[in-house]
Structure 1
Amino acid sequence: MRQSFDLFFASSNDHKYHEAKRILNNFGIDLSFFKCVLEEIQSNSLNDIAIKKAKDAFHECKKPVIIEDDGLFIESLNGFPGPYSSFVFTTIGNEGILNLLKKNRNAKFVSIITYCDKNSLRSFVGNLDGTISNSKQGNGWGYDPIFIPIKMKKTFAEISNKNELSHRYKALKKFSSWYLDK
């Protein structure tokens, strides 16, 4: 299996990097961290946001790079917060989301991994359906304490195998299949 030491994960989020590194290590890809703050354009499209970030990251590090953008889409809120999940988390947090919800708590997490080098720009999407809990449960980061994956009773923050079933795992698995065959 091919090992890569020149692939960077560009982000300001240590948690995302560590999850991606653990997941990709299982596929034989060694990921390095390019810690940076990338401009996040305002768009209703996660893909447009991810593409812009990947191009900017490659321009900065001059090496093959992946970025991850994701969103929590809540059915009863017409997909809100969606691509604005990071901003919503920093402004109203999990408590604010919980206060907005009534009966319909269906949601999905969407992750987009976008790869960029001098010749390629490619995105890979992973989705995971679930529900929003009635209260914060567990000590995870981001929305993990309130998101319950489909067919489970515990939040991402309470389960030990998140990295084997998450939206991020699904997108990274698609990416790794493509990257290792590239």
Structure 2
Amino acid sequence: MILPFATTNDDKLKEAERVLKPHGIEVTPLRLTLMEPDTGSIEAVAWEKLKQVCELGYERVMVDDAGIFFAAYPHFPGILTKRVFDRIGYKGILKLLEGESRQAWFEGAMGVIWDGERAVFSAKTPGRLLGKVPQNMPDEPGFPFNRIFVPDGETRTFAQMSLEEREAYSYRGQVLHRIASWLINQGI
């Protein structure tokens, strides 16, 4: 079965391909620019994206939304993660968390529509943020927090791990396995 994934992030696409292929699901890119609301939850944004792809006439597609949340600032930056990071960068993030809890979590939601059936699944990856940005690691376009995020149970940041190690903690991987089960249970 072929499942188009509405994303412009190649690394998200590759992770979806790796996780879903063993389930017999081939993920293909669907390059759409969808409007992202600036209020609400991660799940609400995924539902909104599903609504948009339906309005465009797609009957089989997967969408995604994700963000990082800081324990010191409930609900923030959340769905505004990319916009906040683009404006204040590492320097602003670290200044914002000076003297505050560094506990944080990634949260992601993925929605699927398949011939009229719709579902949204979400998961979290808890951890903490470092107090400074390691200088010996390259940036990962689309995933800037990987340089400073350490998942619970680890001493290394995501950027210091292999893809396989990282996927053991991945909220997106958890969600993708649930999507595969949902599709299979739907008899698709």
Aligned to 2:179: 175
Name the SS for the 1:38 alignment partner: coil
Q: 1:169 offset after TM fit, Å?
A: 1.0
The reply on whether 1:108 has 2:110 as its aligned counterpart is no
Matches of 1:26 and 1:90 in 2, distance apart? 36
User: Are the structure 2 counterparts of residues 79 and 42 from structure 1 closer, same or farther at C-alpha, using a change threshold of 3 Å?
Assistant: closer
Pairwise CA distance, 1:117:
3.2
Kept in 2, the 8 Å contact 1:69–1:112? The answer is yes
**TM-score computed with the length of structure 1 as normaliser:** 0.89
Identity of aligned residues (%): 29
Asked whether 1:144 is paired with 2:146, we answer: yes
Cα distance in 1 for partners of 2:19, 2:79 equals 23
Point out where structure 2 has 5 or more consecutive residues left out of the alignment: none
Question: Does the residue aligned with 1:78 lie in a helix, a strand or coil?
Answer: strand
| Secondary structure of the structure 1 residue equivalent to 2:34 | coil
4+ residue stretches of structure 1 with deviation over 6 A?
none
Over 3 Å counting, the alpha-carbon distance change for 1:61 and 1:10 in structure 2 is farther
TM-score by length of 2: 0.86
Matched, 1:135 2:132: yes
Alpha-carbon distance between aligned partners in 2 of 1:27 and 1:102, rounded to the nearest angstrom: 44
Question: Which of 120, 134, 159 is the equivalent residue of 1:157?
Answer: 159
- Supply the distance in 1 between the matched residues of 2:172 and 2:111 (Cα, whole angstroms): 12
Shift of 1:80: 1.2
SS at match of 2:147: coil
Does 1:69 pair with 2:62? no
Q: Hey, what does 2:121 align to over in structure 1? A: 124
Q: Does 1:81 align with 2:77?
A: yes
**In structure 1, what is the Cα distance between the partners aligned to 2:78 and 2:156?**
22
1:61 CA displacement: 5.7
Q: Distance in 1 between matches of 2:102 and 2:171?
A: 18
Of stretches 68-77 and 82-91 in structure 1, the one that deviates more from structure 2 is 82-91
- Find 1:55's aligned residue among 51, 56, 60: 51
Shift of 1:159: 0.7
CA 1:18–1:12: 2 relative to 1, 3 Å: same
What is the match of residue 94 of structure 1?
Answer: 90
Deviates more, 1:162-171 or 1:55-64: 55-64
- Indicate the SS of the match to 1:79: strand
- Give 1:132 deviation, angstroms: 0.6
Instruction: State the AA in 1 paired with 2:128.
Output: T
Which stretch of the first structure deviates more once superposed, 102-111 or 91-100?
91-100
The 10-residue stretch of structure 1 (93-102 or 157-166) with the greater mean CA deviation from structure 2: 93-102
* Contact kept? 2:59, 2:116, Cα under 8 Å: no
Distance 1:9 1:144 in 2: 22
Q: Deviations over 1:20-44 (max 9, x none)?
A: 2222224332100001110011222
Aligned residues: 178
